[in-house]
Amino acid sequence: HAFTLFSTLMCFDLYTSQVASQSSGNSSLVLLQIVYRHGDRTPIATFKKDPHQIPTWKEGPGQLTKLGCMQHYKLGTYLRQRYADYITGNPHELTVWSSAKDRCLMSASCHLAGMYVPSPDWVWDKDLLWQPVPVQTRPIYDDGMLVPGDCHCPEASTEYERFKNSPRGQEFLRNHHSLYVNLSELTGETVDGWDKAAQIYDALLIEKIHNYSVPDWTESYWSRLKEQSDKSFVFYSATPLLKRLRAGLVLANITNYMKQAAVVNSSYDSGEKLKKLYMYSTHDTLVSSLLDALNIFDGKAPLYGSTLLLELHRDGAGGHFVEGYTLNALDMEPKRVSFPGCSAQPCPLDEFLRLASVNIPRDWRKECGLVPFISLSDGALALIIGQSALLAILAFGCTAYCLMQRRKVSKGSVIYSPLPTEFSTR
């Protein structure tokens, strides 16, 4: 098995080495940003009548599989060849962010193993052409950039419910009511809308991918289940507010780096804060929301390894333009995207920034309905800490003084206290 795997990887490397570089020419590329969905995973949840419950999967629920790792290794290997004239194998020329979900962190590691093979200067073991590349993450509950669906954002949940109760949402639910009733009976679950139906489709799709048997009724419902899955992504960012809350932070990150790269206007220098490559390892919901915010979403559920490549180029006159490409783990032939609203393709940077700005919130926390975050300067923070320390010292001193005074009273002595008299007040 090890020999077969090694042979497969070697053949794939040989194939990708023959792939031409991107059509625009790497010489004009000044910044590359890559956003991708994790690879193949186990079901996050099943349904009551599913013959293959979660214990069937040795990895546990929602975890990356060996197939998922291989998908991202191949994807990373392909991108290494595509950008061979741009990236160098220096692990410090890129920044990688990942959702804190295991499947995203592991996908990033597998992807980097294929994409960032160490150049000679960075080889630390001649028999192991691999190197560690840092992957940045943050707690899920506080990650509005890469896990907006699980991050605490009350207004996003409220807006999603508003959409469900809107004429458009209610019409869709009415039109598929009989489907939900039938699915409830077949699965043993209460299927009351597209989200639950999409969850059932997800479990069945994964079981089919891994050659598990599926219920007899699956095929007759397959196209309708797929429609529910696709629509769940369309509806996930269906309103302007949802687009801002779901994709606004990652879009702000992407555009900020583009602005910086246009100003720096030079190739990567280890002394510069700006990197050559920014990579985001995330989920299908973030990928679809980002595509939707850029008006290039095709309305289909993102496949494993679904990737958006955003390239910032400098033209001969010193101007900048943005090129976008999509691909996935099953189809690694990049497809160029056209950004609606741009006067030309590729899209001039200033126009791309203007189009993107519509879906970038001025204050994400405020629009989420969260308590404003108070940022303190170093001086103010030092003052507060100093005052707190002084109060603590005073409190300690007073306590110590009182204890010492009590100890001065000799054993058996009675502290004078006037006896009550008839004039005492009760």
pLDDT at 23: 40
pLDDT at 5: 43
**Average pLDDT per run of 10 along the chain, which is 426 residues long?**
43 44 59 99 98 97 99 98 96 98 99 97 96 96 90 96 98 99 99 98 99 98 99 98 98 97 66 86 98 98 98 93 97 96 95 98 94 59 72 76 64 47 40
pLDDT at 286: 98
Place of tokens 């069937």: 56
pLDDT at 390: 79
* Residues 258, 349 contacting (CB under 8 angstroms): yes
pTM score, whole prediction: 0.82
For residue 289, give the amino acid letter.
S
pLDDT at 8: 47
What amino acid positions are annotated as catalytic residues? 38, 284
Taking the alpha carbons at both ends of the chain, their separation in whole angstroms is 93
CA distance 130 to 113: 6
The residues that bridge with 278 in the sheet, in sequence order, are: 33, 95
pLDDT at 423: 40
